[in-house]
Amino acid sequence: MSILEDARALAESGPVCDACLGRAFAERSFGLTNAERGKSLRVAAALDADEPYEAVETEDCWVCEGACAEFDAWAERCAEAIEDVEVETYQVGTRAPPLVEENELLLREGAGLPEDAGELFKSEFNREVGKRVGRLTGTEVDFTRPDVQFLLDIEADAVEAQLNSAFVYGRYRKLARDIPQTEWPCRECDGSGYKGKEPCDYCGGSGYLYEDSVEGFVAPVVMDVMDGVDAKFHGAGREDVDALMLGTGRPFVVEIMEPRRRSIDVEQLEGDINAMAEGEIEVEGLRLATYDMVERVKKLDASKEYRAAVEFDDDVTDEDLQAALDELTGATIEQYTPHRVDHRRASITRTRHVYDATGDLEDARHATVEVHGEGGLYIKELVSGDEGRTNPSLAGILDTGAVVTALDVIAVEGEDEPFEDDEFFKD
């Protein structure tokens, strides 16, 4: 059959609007809407048969039941749903009524066309409403990770506008000890602050083991500025609670859920966070980031540099210390899960590398040691040996007990490439 014969067969099923008629031939020609395509076929068929041209009102269509006349109205409802929200990109999805989907199949079946001929009703609805949304809001369509996703539920006559998360990248320095990276709920009361009806003695009724955290200083400020409903802190690893994070700082991303503002002054935000923290922590290099930066921060292989204050059980000479550090430089370290973390880590042996180890003896019992190692290397255990769980270790080589009395992280950098890649930023 010719395309005009197919068009006649479709039209004979009952009143079929131009959009539904043209949609069955959506793969034919370009630069036309389905409505334009359908009207052209209807005109051509009338001319070919030398019959009167009879238009069909969209509202009378038995296939879409008039829905194809409502593209403008649905687009206006989408625009109203984000009237007070800052977005730059969008995507439209449609939940088609089951009856319309069934009608489409019956239309093609009755005309002897394949059931997948042309395109689906919901595909056209997405596109036609989407074009209008873009014009009304001055935004651009994004089929990957848009700022807002609209779901048009035609049967329920509802527009759902889902605001996707926004992301702010930066680095933090932790300038005081005994501050965890993220909030640490009390294990005795599960963060409630109560044991039964009484305040929890273990946490003093706060629900947290530590009053402050890096997350607590940073995330609420970002959430407030971006007018979100919740926030999540993602760090590139984490330092021990009693360790400082100095030097270039540790990369992190704050994820803001359902933000109503996205165009923010990151320099002002940086100043607000640092003022709020009052010297406990500092952030720098804040930038608006993409969704993919979360995975990059959490999964990019990173090396760490540490500075540790070490105390020995016996007297150690500078010559012996330097020889031990030379032996550790370039060494492959086998570390069975340390005692201090075996309650939250799988009991396995991990292999990590020491890239460099240097240090200075302060007196016979005290030294400052600096270690550059592969990510995941436990520095406290590298020094102490952890009762033989870490081998080799500084204590083992020196044949004396050794313990880290203070630990500072001074650098967290990507092994093969920097964390800061313009591909993952939005500004």
> What pLDDT is stored for residue 285 in this prediction?
97
Of residues 237, 251, 244, the one with CA closest to residue 179 = 244
Between β-strands 366-374 and 332-336, what pairing exists: parallel, antiparallel or unpaired? Answer: unpaired
Q: Is pLDDT above 70 for 344?
A: no
- Please give the residue range of the domain that contains residue 222: 170-299
Cα(272)–Cα(89) distance, rounded to whole angstroms?
Answer: 28
Considering the domain architecture, whether residues 148 and 12 belong to the same structural domain is answered as: yes
* pLDDT tens profile 348-360: 899 999 999 999 9
Q: Is residue 421 part of a domain?
A: no
Cα(18)–Cα(427) distance, rounded to whole angstroms?
Answer: 44
Q: Is residue 78 part of a domain?
A: yes
What are the tokens at 193?
A: 């602050």
Considering the domain architecture, whether residues 179 and 52 belong to the same structural domain is answered as: no
> What pLDDT is stored for residue 427 in this prediction?
73
Helix%, strand%, coil% for the chain, nearest 5: 35, 30, 40
Burial 140-168 (b: 16+ CB within 10 A, else e): eebeeebbbbbebebeeeebebebbbbbb
Phi-psi region of 247 (alpha: psi -120 to 50; beta: other; left: phi over 0): left
Three-class DSSP labels, 233-268:
EEECCCCCCCCEEEEEEEEEEEEEECCCCCCCCHHH
Three-class DSSP labels, 367-425:
EEEEEEEECCCCHHHHHHCCCCCEECCHHHHHCCCEEEEEEEEEEEEECCCCCCCHHHE
Amino acid at the residue 387: E
Considering the domain architecture, whether residues 10 and 154 belong to the same structural domain is answered as: yes
Q: Is pLDDT above 90 for 143?
A: yes
Q: Is residue 44 part of a domain?
A: yes
- Poorest-pLDDT segment among 5-9, 134-138, 220-224: 5-9
Q: How many CA atoms lie within 13 A of 420 on its CB side?
A: 15
Considering the domain architecture, whether residues 238 and 338 belong to the same structural domain is answered as: no
* pLDDT tens profile 54-90: 999 999 999 999 999 999 999 999 999 999 999 999 9
Active site residues: 240
Considering the domain architecture, whether residues 365 and 330 belong to the same structural domain is answered as: yes
* pLDDT tens profile 293-330: 999 999 999 999 999 999 999 999 999 999 999 999 99
Considering the domain architecture, whether residues 179 and 268 belong to the same structural domain is answered as: yes
Of residues 104, 140, 107, the one with CA closest to residue 124 = 104
Contact 198, 270 (CB under 8 A): no
Helix, strand, or coil (residue 57): coil
Q: Is residue 144 part of a domain?
A: yes
Cα(262)–Cα(271) distance, rounded to whole angstroms?
Answer: 18
What are the tokens at 392?
A: 């080799």
**Integer CA distances (angstroms), 110 to 14, 114, 121, in order:** 11, 10, 17
Annotated binding site for substrate: 306, 378
Contact 175, 168 (CB under 8 A): no
Considering the domain architecture, whether residues 129 and 254 belong to the same structural domain is answered as: no
> What pLDDT is stored for residue 194 in this prediction?
78
Burial class (CB in 10 A: 0-12, 13-18, 19+), 172: buried
% residues pLDDT > 70 (the chain): 99
**Integer CA distances (angstroms), 411 to 41, 161, 236, 300, 377, in order:** 68, 42, 12, 15, 14
Annotated binding site: 306, 378
Q: What is the CATH number of the domain that holds 145?
A: 3.30.2300.10
Place of tokens 């080799």: 392
Considering the domain architecture, whether residues 361 and 240 belong to the same structural domain is answered as: no
Q: Is residue 420 part of a domain?
A: no
DSSP lists the bridge partners of residue 425 as 289
> What total number of domains does the chain contain?
3
Q: What is the CATH number of the domain that holds 271?
A: 3.30.70.2510
Considering the domain architecture, whether residues 174 and 280 belong to the same structural domain is answered as: yes
Helix, strand, or coil (residue 77): helix
Q: Is residue 419 part of a domain?
A: no
Considering the domain architecture, whether residues 312 and 198 belong to the same structural domain is answered as: no
Q: Is pLDDT above 70 for 343?
A: no
Contact 44, 22 (CB under 8 A): no
Q: Cβ contacts of residue 191 below 8 Å, gap of 6+?
A: 185, 207, 208
What are the tokens at 169?
A: 């990248």
Per DSSP, 119 falls in state -
> What pLDDT is stored for residue 78 in this prediction?
98
% residues pLDDT > 90 (the chain): 85
Q: In whole numbers, what is the pLDDT of the chain averaged over residues?
A: 94
Considering the domain architecture, whether residues 180 and 136 belong to the same structural domain is answered as: no
